[in-house]
Amino acid sequence: MKKELEKLRRKMSEYGIDVYLITMDDEHQSEYVGAHYREIAYISGFTGSAGKLVVTAEKAGLFTDGRYFVQAERQLEGTGIDLMRMGEKKTPDISDYISDNMPMGGCFGFNGKTVAYSEARGLLEKLEAKNAAVKSDRDVAGEVWEDRPAHDYKKIFVLEEKYSGEPAKEKLERLRKRMAELNADVNIITMLDDIAWTLNLRGDDIPCNPVFLAYLQVSKDRAVLYTAGEHLTDEVRGYLSDIGVELCEDPERIYDDVRELEGRILIEEEKTNYELVSRIPSGCRIINRLLPTTLMKCVKNETERENLIKAHIKDGVALTRYMYWFKKNIGKIPMTEMSTSRKLHEFRSGNEGFKDESFTTISAYGSNAAMCHYSPSDENDTVIEPKGLYLVDSGGQYLEGTTDVTRTWACGDLTEEERLHFTLSVMSMLRLADTRFPDGTCGVALDYAAREEFWKRGLNFNHGTGHGVGYFLNVHERPVGIRYKIVPERLDSYPFHEGMLVSDEPGMYIEGSHGVRTENLLLCERDYENEFGTFLKFRIVTMAPIDTEALDLSVMTENDVRLLNEYHEKVYENISPYLEGEEKLWLREATRAVEK
Strand partners, 330: none
Element (H or E) spanning 357, and its range? strand 354-357
* Residue 529 burial class via C-beta count within 10 angstroms: exposed 0-12, middle 13-18, buried 19 and up: exposed
* Burial class (CB within 10 angstroms; exposed 0-12, middle 13-18, buried 19+) of 61: buried
The secondary structure of 229-295, three-state, reads HHHCCHHHHHHHHHCCCEEECCHHHHHHHHHHCCCEEEECHHHCEHHHHHCCCCCCEEEECCCHHHH
Cβ atoms 517, 505 nearer than 8 A: yes
**Bridge partners (DSSP) listed for residue 521:** 503
Q: Tell me, what's the pLDDT at 32?
A: 87
Q: Are 212 and 233 in contact (CB under 8 A)?
A: no
pLDDT of res. 553: 97
Please list, in sequence order, all residues whose beta carbon lies within 8 angstroms of the beta carbon of residue 96, skipping any fewer than 6 positions away: 126
Write the CB contacts of 344 (distance below 8 Å, at least 6 apart in sequence). Answer: 318, 319, 322, 361, 363, 392, 394
Residues 189 and 229: their CA atoms lie apart, in Å, by: 19
How confident is the model at residue 491, as a pLDDT? 64
For position 344, what pLDDT does the model report?
98
DSSP codes joined into one string, 45-99: ----SS-EEEEESS-EEEEE-GGGHHHHHHHTTTTT-EEEETTSTTSPPHHHHHH
pLDDT at 162: 98
Number of CB atoms found within 10 A of residue 14's CB: 10
CB-CB contact of 311 with 396 (8 Å): yes
List, in order of start, the domains of the chain with CATH numbers: 3-143 (3.40.350.10), 157-289 (3.40.350.10), 299-585 (3.90.230.10)
Local structure of 374: helix, strand or coil: coil
The strand order across the sheet containing 396-398 reads: 354-357, 396-398, 401-402
Q: Return the H-helix or E-strand segment holding 398.
A: strand 396-398
Give every CB contact of residue 140 below 8 A, 6+ residues apart in sequence. Answer: 8, 11, 12, 15, 17, 20, 109, 111
3-state secondary structure of 137: strand
User: Backbone phi, then psi, for 530, in 5-degree steps?
Assistant: -150, -165
> What parts of the chain have a pLDDT lower than 70?
1, 488-492
Question: CA 483, CA 445: separation in Å to the nearest integer?
Answer: 8
DSSP sequence for 464-524: -SEEE--SSS-SSEEEEEE-SS--GGGTTTPBP-TT-EEEE--EEEETTTEEEE-BEEEEE
CB 32 within 8 A of CB 208: yes
Q: Are 189 and 195 in contact (CB under 8 A)?
A: yes
H or E element in which residue 443 lies: helix 443-446
Who's near 153: CB < 8 A, 6+ residues apart? 205, 212, 213, 228, 230, 231
Contact of 521 with 403, CB cutoff 8 Å: yes
How far is it, in rounded angstroms, from Cα 547 to Cα 388? Answer: 13
Say if CB 293 and CB 132 are below 8 A apart.
no
Give the residue among 383, 226, 396 at the shortest CA–CA distance from 311: 396
Rounded Cα gap, residues 211 and 195, in angstroms = 8
User: Dihedral through CA 493, CA 68, CA 27, CA 262, nearest 10?
Assistant: 20
Beta bridge partners of 442: 495
CA distance 405 to 312: 10
What's the confidence (pLDDT) of residue 490?
A: 65
Would you give the end-to-end CA distance of the chain in angstroms?
56
Instruction: Report the pLDDT value the prediction gives residue 492, as an integer from 0 to 100.
Output: 62
Give the CA dihedral 49, 51, 55, 61, nearest 10 degrees: -120
* Residue 145: CA count within 13 A, CB half-sphere: 20
What Å distances lie between residue 348 and 20, 206, 588, CA to CA?
A: 43, 20, 21
